[in-house]
Amino acid sequence: MSAVDCPSLGRVKGQWYKAVPPLVRCNTGLTPADCFGRTLVEKLPDPIKIGIINVAVGGCRIELFDEDNCEEHIASQPEWLKNTVQAYENNPYRRLKELAKAAQKDGVIKGVLLHQASQIRVIESGRRR
């Protein structure tokens, strides 16, 4: 399901399409969902369909997906990130929830894959977040 409008690709936010890269936004390359989805499809019986809703911002911190506090986080980020999250109306987690609700009209959500590998930092207390 497209998470953003991509007129050049014939994609409309909230509508399903065949999973052909780019899966995230109009100009992104391959993502973890590409390989994961293909592997999953290979391992499952033919009648089972897989739907992917990919809301992603490479190089971001997990705070970007804090629905209630992401605005404050975005304000402190570089322009490239501010520009990227505009595609999700400045709230990627809210967009993900919106699209998940729409997807449930067509099927059952059996799992969520969260891939967050960037920017782990040590905070003052010495704990990792």
Q: How far is CA 7 from CA 4, 25, 27, 35, in A?
A: 10, 11, 12, 25
Give the pLDDT of residue 89: 95
pTM listed for this prediction:
0.81
Give the pLDDT of residue 56: 87
Q: Which residues pair with 11 in a beta bridge?
A: 6
Q: So where are the chain's domains? A: 7-103
Give the pLDDT of residue 15: 95
CB 15 within 8 A of CB 2: yes
Distance of CA 128 to the CA centre of its chain: 23
Q: What is the pLDDT along the chain (129 residues), one digit of tens a residue?
A: 999 999 999 999 999 998 888 888 888 888 778 888 888 889 999 888 888 898 988 888 889 999 999 999 999 999 999 999 999 999 999 999 999 999 999 999 988 887 766 555 544 445 544
